[in-house]
Structure 1
Amino acid sequence: KYVEISKVTFFKYFTSKVDLLLYYRSILTLNLIIKIAESKIEGMKAINVIVQHFASEYAQRPSMVLGLIHYFTDSTTYVNPIHVKPAERLLFFPESSNIDYEVISFDQLVEQQMLDIVFKKQSTLSVNSQQLTEVFLSTLYGTIVVCRMKKADHVSMFFFQILGTVFPGIKG
């Protein structure tokens, strides 16, 4: 209703729930890429932004975030991010000064930040960036599931509490 698209047009582009979830994931990732690039932050500060963003997304759209995790657990293949057209970028991010950011996968975005963390020695964990990424993603997705199971009232605080246990540099 917000963008005045009819149901017929909507379902023409998103024929299944999976299509919508994959597009949502691409928009979510692009939003994070823009926030991080325009704030000129990297490493642990960028990871804090990612955690905060996921916490607010979960608070606003829990069924979408949980649907995305459900898709990940059921999927046997890895799907690359869906290309977001320039007109769609302007629609979703009108305040952004530059819409020419490369859309990468969420995993790649996290791994870029973990690489900065390793190079800048912002973590006491002595592993490579790929292992740090896997630990972070496992903890993030697990936190979302546990948050749902426990029906946590303060989602952001819950996210930072759990993720801060694994990554002491993460602070909310």
Structure 2
Amino acid sequence: MNLKDRIKDYPNFPKKGILFRDFSPILKDPSALSFIADEISKYFHPKDIDLFAGIESRGFILACVLASRYDKGMIMIRKDGKLPGKTTKLSYKIEYGKDTIEIQKDIIKEGQRVLICDDLLATGGTAKASAKLIEKVGGKITGFAFIIELTELNGIKCIKEYDCKSLVKY
């Protein structure tokens, strides 16, 4: 299956000069979702993963699909202020400033192996911060799973110490 055929391009969104790669059409196609889970499972073995972590918000979708396929749990990495209870936060630099992400403090047991999921790898800043956040609370990173990677932005360099799988590269 060619996922590129199902990804829609939106020039100048969300601002002029940006080409937005939208994976939304994949979501309405059960065979495409199944294909994604099959391809990721060829790369990451179920015995090496305890939890899937989805990066807000489109990463939640991929993490849920994979968690269901692997019969594992899923946790959310959210933007600051979006989770109830005690949380652990991490601030990091983004292109024009800084951002903060968080997870619930007790959501990961010490040593649990986590595969981080997102729809897209661009500059790698959020991915790297997500890994640091999970490690900060005692989790071990199994790797990263992405649907799309924008290779010209070299985000893979930020997470080169981790095992990474991107299904579609532009």
When the two structures are superposed, what TM-score results if normalisation uses the length of structure 2? 0.27
**Structure showing the higher helix proportion among its residues:** 1
Query: Structure 1 length as normaliser, TM-score?
Result: 0.27
Quick one: higher RCO (CA 8 Å, sep 6+), 1 or 2? 1
